[in-house]
Structure 1
């Protein structure tokens, strides 16, 4: 019996997240991740796109603001554009 992987794209984060950077990579690190838009396996040591999102976290007791980061991986610029809109 054949099993197919059913992919649902990762949801857009809430409005408190800001896109910090979108760029193409020839190498980011070893390993693989799923494209956030279409779900294909993306080798992170080959050509792909990465998107970094940031959001401010509530002030800590000592009064410092923190940042939370999230990274999304895409197989192509078309997937970046489709997911972003």
Structure 2
């Protein structure tokens, strides 16, 4: 049986999230993740783009930071997701 992968791009996080870094990678780690824009499988040990988002969070009287990493198959997908 064939399985069709349905994908909608990841929603943009709220305005409290900030894009900290976008860079190309030739290798990040072993594994596969979905492109945040188009949904294709992205091999993390091959050429791809990574984006790091962060936001400040209050935790028990201290200021903490929450991070999220998104993966993209191409610069075009990065640009499409940003705009």
TM band (smaller chain): over 0.9
Q: Say how many residue pairs are matched.
A: 83
Please give the TM-score of this superposition, normalised by the length of structure 1: 0.92
Match of 1:40? 40
Please give the TM-score of this superposition, normalised by the length of structure 2: 0.94
Query: After superposition, what is the alpha-carbon deviation per residue over 1:52-73, rounded to whole angstroms, capped at 9, x for unaligned?
Result: 0000001423xx2100000000
Q: In the TM superposition, what is the alpha-carbon distance from 1:3 to its structure 2 partner?
A: 3.2
Note the residue ranges of structure 2 that are not aligned, 5 or more in a row: none
- The structure that has the greater radius of gyration is 1
More strand by share: 2
Q: In the TM superposition, what is the alpha-carbon distance from 1:41 to its structure 2 partner?
A: 0.2
Q: 1:65 aligns with which of 63, 72, 78?
A: 63
Structure 1 stretches of at least 4 aligned residues deviating more than 4 Å after TM superposition: none
Note the residue ranges of structure 1 that are not aligned, 5 or more in a row: none
